[in-house]
Structure 1
Amino acid sequence: MKIGIGNDHVAVEMKNEIKAYLEEKGHEVVDFGTNSSERCNYPVYGEAVANAIVNGEVDCGVLICGTGVGISLSANKVNGIRACVCSEPYSARLSKQHNNTNIIAFGARVIGIELAKMIVDEWLNAEYEGGRHQVRIDMIKDIEEKQKQK
Structure 2
Amino acid sequence: MRIAIASDHAATGLKADLVQWLGELGHDVADLGPQAGESVDYPDYGYKLAQAVASGQAERGIALCGSGIGISIAVNRNPALRCALVGEPLSAKLAREHNDANAIAMGARLTGLDMAKACVEAFLSTEFAGDRHVRRVTKLSNPAF
Are 1:18 and 2:6 counterparts? no
Deviation string for 1:86-112 (max 9, x for gaps)? Answer: 011101000000000000110000010
Secondary structure at 2:142's aligned position in 1?
helix
Tell me, which stretches of 5 or more residues in structure 2 are unaligned? Answer: none
Distance 2:11 2:74 in 1: 16
Aligned pairs for 1:53-92 (under 5 A) are: 53-92=53-92
CA RMSD of aligned residues (A): 1.0
Secondary structure at 1:122's aligned position in 2?
helix
Q: Which has the higher helix share?
A: 1
Tell me, which stretches of 5 or more residues in structure 1 are unaligned? Answer: none
Q: Which residue in the other structure is 2:94 paired with?
A: 94
Distance 2:119 2:57 in 1: 23
Please give the TM-score of this superposition, normalised by the length of structure 2. 0.97
Q: Which runs of 4+ in 1 moved over 4 A?
A: none
User: Taking every aligned residue pair, what percent have the same amino acid on both sides?
Assistant: 37
Q: Which residue in the other structure is 1:135 paired with?
A: 135
Secondary structure at 2:87's aligned position in 1?
coil
Secondary structure at 2:38's aligned position in 1?
coil
Q: Which residue in the other structure is 1:43 paired with?
A: 43
Q: CA deviation at 1:36?
A: 1.7
Aligned partner letter, 1:33 = G
Secondary structure at 1:47's aligned position in 2?
helix
Q: CA deviation at 1:137?
A: 0.7
Please give the TM-score of this superposition, normalised by the length of structure 1. 0.94
Distance 2:105 2:53 in 1: 14
